[in-house]
Amino acid sequence: MLSSLLCSSRVYISAVINHQEARLRLIDFYLTFIGFASRKNLIEHFGVATATASRDFKLYEQTYTEQIVYSVRRRRYERLDTFSPVFDHDIQSALQFLTSDKWVVPHTNPGLGPGISAFVPDGLDLHKVALISRAIASQTIIYVDYAAASSGFSTRYIAPHSLLTNGLAWYVRAFDRKSKEFRNFRLSRFLRVEHIDETCASHESSDEDNEWVTKVTLTLAPHPKQTNQEAFRRDLGLTDKPVVNLEVPSAMAGFTLSAMRVDCSPNASMEVHQFPLRCMNLHELDHVDSMRIAPGVYSAVE
């Protein structure tokens, strides 16, 4: 599920990590990826009393010197220029938390399977990701060196406003001052990220990103060439209706269809074993820019 960087919902964390060290780790996490933290964060995440949260911040400040300072005006603790993370933070877990407010707790394999998965390393760098997420939280500009798939290496100023994923890779949605439009940038392709102490202009905010605030409906069904329709109906949770409707931001339509391996070719001509699902409302998505990367659309245009 896609969401903004900071969510308002509470997080219910397993008792196994509901200890002081976990609270200190969460303080460190907020300072690393958001740039500031408050007692409210600990109170909401762990359900502790205000006095307990105050003691935790005091302990963090005394144990790890030259890390934070309290802002009376903003009523929160902010990272100093000398700040450096004192805990190890897993990038994938961090991104999951930042976008869905779900804390991923490491656990021991219960023995129900081999616990082995094949994957391609994502190439994400914690320092770069943290700089980007702090820029989102503070609504400021970053200067980046970026390796684009189409145009190659370039330097540009961008105003990031949201983190997002297609289930396979992570992206940041940002206003690109070079092209003067909102674009999706893949996190693994940032060669360098530098924070610029400049507030984003009003036209660079997420509210002005029409493709982000506008939702579109994706109507999906088992591919018509599938011999066993019922198997794929079950995959989609279909019991009493022929299709499922997914509502996603316009900017994410193509990403979603690609991740789900949905045939979007005009005549449903893609290999059914590779693309087991079919988009049934292509005529309603002609205006959606992100559809350019949906399976079967690019070849049709060319």
pLDDT tens-digit series, residues 97-129: 998 865 554 444 555 655 544 455 567 999 999
- Residue 25 near residue 56 (C-beta atoms within 8 A): no
Nearest to 94, CA basis, from 54, 141, 134, 142:
134
Burial of 158 from C-beta contacts in 10 A (0-12 / 13-18 / 19+): buried
* pLDDT, averaged across the chain: 86
**What pLDDT sits at residue 236?**
86
Q: What is the pLDDT of residues 115-168, one digit of tens each?
A: 544 455 567 999 999 999 999 999 999 999 999 887 889 999 999 999 988 777
pLDDT tier at 246, thresholds 50, 70, 90: very high
User: pLDDT tens digit string along 208-241?
Assistant: 999 999 999 999 999 999 888 888 888 888 888 8
- Give the pLDDT of residue 232: 87
- pLDDT tens digits for 274-288? 999 999 999 999 999
3-state secondary structure of 69: strand
88: left (phi over 0), alpha (psi -120 to 50) or beta: beta
The structure tokens listed for 139 are 């609504």
Q: Is 263 left (phi over 0), alpha (psi -120 to 50) or beta?
A: beta
> Amino acid identity, residue 40?
K
Do 5 and 137 meet the contact criterion of CB atoms below 8 Å apart? yes
Give this prediction's pTM. Answer: 0.81
User: CA–CA separation, 275 vs 261, rounded Å?
Assistant: 5
Q: Are 283 and 248 in contact (CB under 8 A)?
A: no
Whole-angstrom distance, CA of residue 211 vs CA of residue 92 = 26
> By the 8 A CB rule, do 81 and 74 touch?
no
Residue 78 φ/ψ, nearest 5 degrees = -120, 150
Which pLDDT value is given to residue 150?
78
Region 45-70: what's the mean pLDDT? Answer: 95
Q: If you ran DSSP here, which 8-state letter would residue 75 be given?
A: T
> What is the structure's pLDDT at 157?
98
- Residue 261 φ then ψ, to 5°: 55, 60
Q: Report the distance separating Cα 144 and Cα 169, nearest Å.
A: 19
What DSSP string runs through 188-233? GGEEEEEEEEEEPPGGGSGGG-HHHH-EEEEEEEE-TT-S-HHHHH
Reported in sequence order, the residue ranges of the chain that DSSP labels E, i.e. its strands, are: 36-37, 68-71, 76-79, 140-148, 152-165, 170-176, 181-186, 190-199, 215-222, 244-249, 262-263, 277-279
Q: Give the CB-side neighbour count of residue 177, counting CA atoms within 13 A.
A: 13
**186-202 pLDDT tens trace:** 999 999 999 999 999 99
